[in-house]
A and B are shown apart, each in its own frame.
Chain A
């Protein structure tokens, strides 16, 4: 396929140690891009080109990685929007949300709004790209998939349903080039009045029993698995029973 694909990558943080690493979902976006475009894949990062963690992306088999030089805490929306508008890509892939900073997951949505492109969340597989439209599979919760036909150019986020990223090799990671570009800088005003703090453990929800009398409290404490009031079909033929089950399955919409 000769489609031009761009993957946007960020610096991740290891969930245990907090050390910087390649971000899990962004690595999946690179993997999907490599499978789709091979050498035509362009990978872009907005941030500091001296970050060692960026080399982990190069180690996936990239020659070079474009870095739009930005200080920490800058708003990269403007810069990335301008870059993508001029890059002429058909498909832009990103992770769902960053592993550091605010991590609101808003960037792809804002970029799509700014560029006027359609956006797909949870891209699992690209089936075909032809005549300016792409046929893709979208990952839904509970392991389901949905087929969509989308006009190009397209912005898509990937989550854990996308293919697993390949391992990063040391040699290509050293040889690859981090090509820095100087671009305009826009400060993000959010951190002026908001602050990041270490995550507090969330209070566990207590099971509060609002009973007026002791008997009710006793009943609530000793209650077996709830239910009751269920319909019981006794002395029916197997066919009637099967019809009743089928009716419930159809009503619930689980029968495809």
Chain B
């Protein structure tokens, strides 16, 4: 909200209208003042009229500090609402959740899953989230995590599915959760859950989209059929299986494994990710997009910058209409709706259609000349300046970073 002081004609009208129910609250009545003879005078009626507090309730303040909510006095932005804290001091049972943590943060699928876990846990159970390795999530409590178990170690880095299963088995031995919930996703949960199920010898309920009355319903076959069955101990749930937790805060108390995780003999060696031609990745599923718009004048430089960054190219409608980019590269409501984790908008002011198209993006970086444009309101990081100079500097910085990184490795 801006801090510009504006007239509020409605409030002024109420202040003039003695019959209006809010009239008293709008008065700037002095409650005490010095009379002409040097005697302090008080107006008890003004004190008794009280004022309307931020909570919406009428309050009286007899300390003399009360100033009616006057016409000039504006209510500032609503105070942060503190949600009630849900505490489970002595959990009767655990519901274990293994979130995917794509990019080190809880994703929407993970939050749905925590909501489902919370509905299964009720009042007595605790939701135990198990996270492997480092994470960047700062607010597990708001997502509905009662207990947080972070399992760290070198063995869990990279692609080590067999070691992760060992970790989950150790958790299973110590906490014996009533239910295990994993996201049935391609980003790891689907695979890990099935491996874990095979290792435990449990028959999981897969692609579950609803849990009701002790029955879980999941898609079967190629999605043409539903399979309804009793509650399974291990549940692989689809996205939007439940509403995420939104009405309570949780403690997210850290817990630890009492034993160390057994090392499994690794039969799968991770040789690292392979460079993929970013142009070959479909834009809708690309992870990192650099888009150019009307502000880009030197397209040769733009192409060099995207190549240096290893990003998929995108464009705004204007750039496509002007013939600088093919129609297939257009981002926005009339083009492709992208889901990139990082979206860099170069010289794009942010028409509403374009902002719709990048609605699912996590982090948006804007490079623009105009500090007041809509894209900068949306962006997590904005750099105001000439796009050509910044792209040129970015290419140099990336080259430096790459060569510096190699020197460190050598």
Contacts and interface: CB of A to CB of B under 8 A. Distances in A.
A252 B341 contact: yes
A253 interface: yes
B34 interface: no
B386 A238 contact: yes
A204 to B, nearest CB: 9
A141 interface: yes
Interface string B152-184: 000000010010000000000000000000000
A105 B194 contact: yes
Contacts of A252: 103, 341-342, 362-363
Given A113-B198, A148-B271, A248 B219 contact: no
B264 to A, nearest CB: 11
Contact of B227 (A195, A234, A245, A253): A195
A106 interface: yes
A253 B344 CA distance: 14
A209 to B, nearest CB: 11
B221 A100 contact: yes
Interface stretch (B91-99, B125-133, B282-290, B322-330): B282-290
A226 B274 CA distance: 35
B195 interface: yes
A151 B267 CA distance: 6
B380 A227 contact: yes
Interface residues of A, number: 81
Nearest to A141: B186
Contact of B223 (A113, A199, A255): A199
A146 B159 contact: yes
B224 A232 contact: no
A196 interface: yes
A105 B376 contact: no
A69 interface: no
Contact of B381 (A140, A231, A237): A231
Given A118-B267, A196-B227, A249-B309, A15 B273 contact: no
B199 interface: yes
Contact of A245 (B219, B229, B365, B384): B365
Chain B interface SS verdict (over half): mixed
B145 to A, nearest CB: 20
B380 A230 contact: yes
B85 interface: no
B312 to A, nearest CB: 9
A142 B226 contact: no
B191 to A, nearest CB: 5
Contact of A227 (B204, B276, B377, B401): B377
B262 interface: no
Residue among B221, B243, B270, B385 with most chain A CB within 10 A = B221
A149 to B, nearest CB: 4
Given A106-B197, A196-B220, A199-B223, A248 B363 contact: yes
Contacts of A141: 186-187, 285
B38 interface: no
A187 to B, nearest CB: 14
A227 B359 CA distance: 10
A55 B227 CA distance: 29
A256 interface: yes
B226 A120 contact: no
B323 to A, nearest CB: 27
A243 interface: yes
B310 A143 contact: no
A218 interface: no
Interface string A143-182: 1111111110000000000000000000000000000000
Contacts of A12: 222
A15 B383 contact: no
A14 to B, nearest CB: 9
A119 B223 contact: no
A106 B221 contact: no
A244 B383 contact: yes
Contacts of B396: 239, 242
B374 A147 contact: no
B275 interface: yes
A31 interface: no
B204 to A, nearest CB: 7
Nearest to B270: A148
Contact of B383 (A146, A193, A245, A253): A245
Contacts of B270: 146, 148
Interface stretch (B2-10, B66-74, B293-301, B387-395): B387-395
Nearest to B400: A246
A221 interface: no
A-B residue pairs, 3 tightest by C-beta? A194-B229, A143-B281, A241-B383
Interface of B: 56, 78, 81, 103, 159, 162, 186-187, 190-191, 194-195, 197-199, 203-204, 206-207, 209-210, 217, 219-230, 240, 243, 246-247, 267-276, 280-282, 285-288, 309-311, 341-342, 344, 350, 352, 355-356, 359, 362-365, 367, 371, 374, 376-386, 389-390, 392-394, 396-398, 401
13 contacts: A104-B194, A105-B194, A106-B206, A118-B268, A148-B271, A150-B268, A197-B225, A199-B219, A200-B217, A225-B374, A227-B377, A232-B376, A236-B385
